[in-house]
């Protein structure tokens, strides 16, 4: 059975509320458009640390879950491990689903 996170990622992507990639997400965070940052658990330590600190400084919630491969597949992208949600509704639902997985 398909996971709910997978479905929500697809809905967010199709509605234009999911951005992917390190630089694109950084830009969105700096422009204060991001409501949630999702990081793959197998990102490099340096990348994780930088993004965690930035999110904490900007008071943006973030979650670390799944692998680069799984997150990329959920988003319909390839080889991406950093994602950001720009809609509050999607951010809340995805955050809730990720928290329930743990």
Tell me the domain boundaries of the chain. 4-101
CATH 3.30.1330.30 fits 4-101, yes or no: yes
Q: Which long-range contacts (CB under 8 A, 24 or more apart) does 71-76 make?
A: 71/9, 71/38, 71/40, 74/5, 74/6, 74/9, 74/10, 75/9, 75/10, 75/13, 75/18, 75/20, 76/10, 76/13
What pLDDT digit, counting tens, does each position of 75-96 carry?
888 889 999 999 999 999 999 9
Whether 1 has a pLDDT exceeding 80, the answer reads no
- The whole-model pTM stands at 0.90
């Amino acid at each position: 059975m398909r996971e709910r996170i997978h479905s929500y990622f697809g809905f967010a992507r199709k509605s234009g509320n999911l951005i992917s990639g390190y630089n694109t997400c950084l830009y969105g965070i700096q422009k204060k458009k991001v409501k949630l940052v999702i990081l793959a658990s197998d990102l490099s330590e340096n990348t994780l640390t930088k993004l965690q600190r930035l999110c904490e400084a900007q008071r943006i919630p973030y979650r670390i879950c799944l692998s680069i491969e799984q997150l990329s597949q959920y988003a319909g992208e390839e080889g991406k491990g950093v994602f950001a949600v720009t809609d509050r509704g999607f951010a809340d639902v995805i955050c809730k689903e990720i928290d329930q997985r743990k």
